[in-house]
Structures are given as C-alpha cells and as structure tokens.
Amino acid sequence: RRRVRPAIAVTGAFALGASQGLVRMASVVWSEAPYAAIALAMLLVLSRRPVTTRSAAIGGLLAGIGFLIRYAGVGLIATGVVMVAASAWRSDDQADEWATLVKRIAAFVSAAIAISLLWVVRNLVETGQPLGPRFSGGADEPLSRTIHLALVGTGHIVAGDGWSESARVRIGAIVVIGIAALIVLAISSRRSVTLDLGMATFAATSFVVPIVARIATANDIELRVMSPMLIPVVYVATVTFDRVCTRRGIVVAGTVLLGWWMYQGAAFAVRFPDLAPAGSGYKPQFSPQLYDAIAALPADARVLTNNPQRVWWFTDREPTLMGFTAPRAGNSHYPLDAEHTVQEACNGRAYLAWFSGLQNAGDGPKERRPDLAALVDLQLETSVSGGQLYRLVALDPSACRSDTGQPAGQG
C-alpha cells in the first residue's frame, strides 16, 4: 500500500496469498508460512518514515524471531540493517545523521541478537553446538552445481509442478535476473528507496544464503528452501504492473495472468494434501499396499521405516521411528543408532517397513546399513509393489537388556 495504488496493493496481496508455492509450503511445512509473515511484518515496520529507535528495535525483534523459525533467516537480519541504514541516512536531521544511523542500527541489531541468543544458548547447553545437532562438512560439488540447484528451486516455487528440471532452471534464471533489473528501475524512481532496497536485499539473501549453507553444511536446496523468493517476485511484479498498467490491453493481460496464477493456487489447495501427486497425503505416490500391511500389524507393533512421516500419516502408528537409513546433511532428524535399533529388535514386536521408491532406499536396508544388518536379522514378512515389510530379530540375544538396564539373564 505504501508503494503502489490501493487496488494494485490488494491485487498483489491476493497474488501472494493464493500462489501455488505458498499454498504448498503452508500445507506441508510449518516454518515457511510463519517465516513469510514475520518477514513481511519486519519489512512493514521498517518501511515507515521515519524509522525511530523504537521501530528499529521492533524490527530487530521480528528479525530475531525469523531467525529462530529458520536459520536461513540470518538474511532477514541483513535486510533489516540495510533498511534501517537507508532510512536513517535519508532522515531530515542531517546534523545528527551519523549518530542517528549508529543508534538505530544498534537498536535493531541488539534486539535481533537478544532474541536469537536465547535459543543459541539453549542449543549450547543441550547439544554443545550453537545451531543444535547438525552434520559437519560441506557439499562436495562444483559451485556451478550449487547455483544450478538454487535456480531449480526458485523456478519450482514460482512456476509450480509440471516443468522439467531444465525448464525450472531457465525460469529461475529469468526470475533472478528480472528481480535484479526491476529493483534497479524501482530504486531509480526514488519513490520508496528504503522499501525497495530492503526488498532487493531480502531477494539477494534468500538466494545466496541457501547456497552458502550448502557449501558449509551440505544442506538440501529445493523449493522449500527457496520459497522466500516468492515475496520479492510478487513485490516486483506488483510494482512493475503499477507503473505499466496505463492501457486497457495491459490491464486485461495482467488480469488474465493473475486469474491463471490464482486459479493454479486454488486448484492446488483443493487437491492438497490427499489428491495432489506431490502432496504428503497422496497415498499412491509410493506403496499403498505397504501402508495397508503396516496398518494390519498388531496394535503394540513398533514400526521402523525409511518413510516415517507418511507412515505415521496413513497408519497413525505410535511410535513410528526412522531406521536403517544413512544419516546425511539435509536430514531434519536422525535415524535410530545401532544400540537403539538392537533394543527395538529385542522386544519382539519391531518391524521395518521399507519403501524402495524413496531416494534414501538404495538397493535395500542391508545395502544401506550393513552395520545394522550385522546386528539385526531382517526376516521378510511380506513383499508388495514398492516395498517390503520385515520383522526385526536381534542376532545376539545377549545384547538385549532388561528393563533394569542389565543384559538379559543377568542381575
């Protein structure tokens, strides 16, 4: 509303809220929609003129909360610093310009660090690592490959499903180049330099931070990670449309494009999560027969699997445990280690549901985790299309412990 005409502003809001990418992320990942809302709130607070010390501190608190929701939110802190600096630098109080600049940036950074530091201290106490338990080591790939993945993720979150990887790369490249070019044009208008610079920084950090994170920690780069790019995409498109919609033909074309965009998001919402092929609730995606076999197990059965989220979704099994997969960077949680796997096998009620169509399946659980296969016997219960169900039996009964913590048969 502060950048374009009211009707165009409302149109942009609908375009973001009804985008297929945001609908998808809000449907399957808790963190992304709240992060988008917090990012927008910070941009809103810091786009007011003038930015006071109080509003800078509020913006810093929002940036800190954004960092807690997703660590890539460190780019949100950089965005806020740029916005506070831009606003203070252009303040009317030129005599006290530098003092004002330093004071407001300090207020923003202090608030952001204060809220972030609480969780960092908690992580240090609990795990000894500032960001919690994480894998070490970066991605062993050329930088060009990492950038390629970022472009694929950007193209995917903007254009949606149904495109090949090469097409997503081209779409992602067009988006990145287009944002850069249009932001330059927007800043040149000098209508709202603080907001335009902030959005430019937000776009840059949303693209660069995942690349740096992959280089450092080998984190995955895909549409979820690149989803914040939707905000600058819609912003730039809205600002551009506001400037060019001077003819009826352009207005009609823009309306048709917006209608198609919103229809795709609405149709995706109707299909999600049970009917969309990419949805976590789409049962035919992997092995529906294996889900049925798991559901038929006794009520006290304990299920290990390489597909824990969907097994829990379709069978409501408690507990559903991740097992026999190889831990790697990009995982949001860890599979059971050798000791806990053996103890699960010792109780006589543990099963391994193996979905062979997943990327983490390899050539089977024995090939994937030979160290565990040397400790636990996998007795095939049933084999269906797309998966197998095994019963787990400890190969060494003496490794089993009683409830007292002593080896079975002792103490």
pLDDT (0 to 100) of residue 410: 35
What is the identity of the amino acid at 41?
Answer: A
- In whole angstroms, what is the distance from residue 168 CA to residue 162 CA? 10
- In whole angstroms, what is the distance from residue 10 CA to residue 98 CA? 37
- In whole angstroms, what is the distance from residue 314 CA to residue 303 CA? 13
Characterize 331-346 residue by residue with b for buried, 16 or more Cβ atoms within 10 angstroms of its Cβ, and e for exposed.
beeebbeeeebbebbb
- 351: phi then psi, degrees, rounded to nearest 5: -130, 155
pLDDT (0 to 100) of residue 285: 80
The residues, ordered by sequence, that sit 6+ positions from 103 with a Cβ below 8 Å of its Cβ are: 53
The residues facing 382 across adjacent strands are: 389
DSSP letter for 387, please: E
DSSP letter for 227, please: G
pLDDT (0 to 100) of residue 328: 66
pTM comes to: 0.79
C-alpha to C-alpha distances, 157 to 33, 40, 160, 194, 197, nearest whole angstrom: 13, 18, 6, 26, 23
pLDDT (0 to 100) of residue 404: 39
pLDDT (0 to 100) of residue 110: 94
- In whole angstroms, what is the distance from residue 198 CA to residue 39 CA? 11
pLDDT (0 to 100) of residue 60: 94
C-alpha to C-alpha distances, 365 to 10, 111, 340, 344, 354, nearest whole angstrom: 52, 48, 16, 16, 7
Among the residues of 97-192, which ranges form H helices? 97-127, 143-159, 165-188
- In whole angstroms, what is the distance from residue 10 CA to residue 7 CA? 5
Would you tell me how many other CB atoms lie within 10 Å of the CB of residue 328? 11
What is the identity of the amino acid at 276?
Answer: A
The residues, ordered by sequence, that sit 6+ positions from 121 with a Cβ below 8 Å of its Cβ are: none
For residue 273, cis peptide bond before it (omega within 30 degrees of 0): yes
pLDDT tens for the chain, 411 residues: list them.
Answer: 878 889 899 999 999 998 888 888 887 778 888 999 999 999 999 988 788 899 999 999 999 999 988 888 899 999 999 999 888 665 455 556 777 788 899 999 999 999 888 888 888 888 787 877 666 666 778 899 999 999 999 999 988 877 889 999 999 999 999 888 877 877 776 677 788 889 999 999 999 999 998 888 778 888 889 999 999 999 988 988 888 877 888 888 888 888 888 888 888 887 766 665 666 677 888 888 999 999 999 999 999 999 888 899 889 888 889 999 877 665 666 788 899 999 999 988 999 999 998 877 888 999 989 999 999 999 999 999 999 999 999 998 888 865 434 444 333
